[in-house]
C-alpha cells in the first residue's frame, strides 16, 4: 500500500489552483508527485504540472482523516481512482465519503480532458480513458448516480471486450440499459445496443467518441 503524501507534498497539493489543479513547487517536489500518480506534466510548453484525479481526491481529503480508504479506492496498477465496475459479491460503498471521492474523480477527469485533448475539449474522452476503458466508462456511470451490480443488488456491469476501444455495458433491464447509454453518450461515448447470441440478453457496446 502506498504511503500518504509527506507534509511538504501535502502543502504543494493543497496550494494547487482550485479550478485547474495547476501546481507550484520545486522541480523535485513536482517530480515526486508525478512518480506517485498525484500529478502529471503537461506535454505542451511551458510544461506545467497539474493534479491527476487522484491528486484532486487527496486535496479534498481532510488531512486528519485516515488515508487508508482513499488508498483502497485507487487502482494499484495506475494510482488512479477506481470506480465500481459492477459484478462483485461484496456490497458497493455508496456512503457520503464515496460520493465525494467519485465527484472529485469525475471533476479531475474532466480537467484531464481539458488539459490533454488537443483542442481542450471536455465533452469527449481523453487518452487516459482510451487506455483504461472499463474504469473510464464505470466512472462516468457511477458519477451520474447509476448503482453498480454488487452484493446481490442489481445494477450496471462494465466489462472489456475483444473489440478495440469498446466495452460491454450490462444492466438488469432495458430501461436501466437505456439510462446507462444516455449517460455514456452525454459523457462523450458512442453506444450501440446488441443481443448476446446465447443468452439473448441485451447489452450496450460503448466506445469513446473521437470527434
CA distance 173 to 201: 9
168 pLDDT higher than 80? yes
Q: How confident is the model at residue 74 (pLDDT cuts 50, 70, 90)?
A: very low
* Whether pLDDT at 75 is above 60: no
Residue predicted with more confidence, 181 or 210: 181
209 pLDDT band (50/70/90 cuts)? very high
- Joined together, the cell numbers standing for residue 173 give 433491464
pLDDT at residue 62 in the model: 52
Q: Residue holding cell 440478453?
A: 201
pLDDT at residue 78, rounded to an integer: 43
Taking Cα atoms as reference points, which of 91, 93, 111, 96 lies closest to residue 39? 111
Mean pLDDT of 39-66: 78
* pLDDT average, residue stretch 101-110: 90
Amino acid at each position: 500500500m502506498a504511503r500518504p503524501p509527506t507534509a511538504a507534498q501535502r502543502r504543494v497539493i493543497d496550494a494547487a489552483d482550485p479550478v485547474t489543479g495547476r501546481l507550484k513547487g520545486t522541480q523535485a517536489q513536482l517530480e515526486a508527485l508525478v512518480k506517485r500518480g498525484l500529478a502529471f506534466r503537461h506535454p505542451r510548453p511551458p510544461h506545467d504540472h497539474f493534479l491527476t484525479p487522484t491528486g484532486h481526491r487527496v486535496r479534498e481529503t481532510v488531512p486528519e482523516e485516515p488515508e487508508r480508504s482513499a488508498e483502497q479506492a485507487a487502482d494499484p496498477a495506475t494510482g488512479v481512482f477506481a470506480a465500481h465496475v459492477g459484478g462483485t459479491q461484496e456490497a458497493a460503498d455508496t456512503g457520503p465519503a464515496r460520493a465525494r471521492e467519485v465527484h472529485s474523480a469525475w471533476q479531475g477527469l474532466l480537467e484531464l480532458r481539458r488539459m490533454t485533448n488537443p483542442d481542450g475539449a471536455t465533452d469527449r474522452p481523453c487518452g487516459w480513458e482510451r487506455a483504461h476503458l472499463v474504469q473510464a466508462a464505470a466512472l462516468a456511470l457511477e458519477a451520474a448516480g447509476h448503482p453498480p451490480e454488487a452484493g446481490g443488488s442489481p445494477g450496471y456491469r462494465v466489462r472489456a471486450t475483444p473489440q478495440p476501444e469498446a466495452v460491454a455495458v450490462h444492466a438488469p433491464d432495458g430501461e436501466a440499459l437505456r439510462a446507462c447509454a444516455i449517460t455514456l453518450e452525454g459523457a462523450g461515448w458512442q453506444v450501440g445496443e446488441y443481443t448476446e447470441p446465447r443468452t439473448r440478453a441485451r447489452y450496450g457496446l460503448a466506445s469513446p467518441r473521437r470527434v
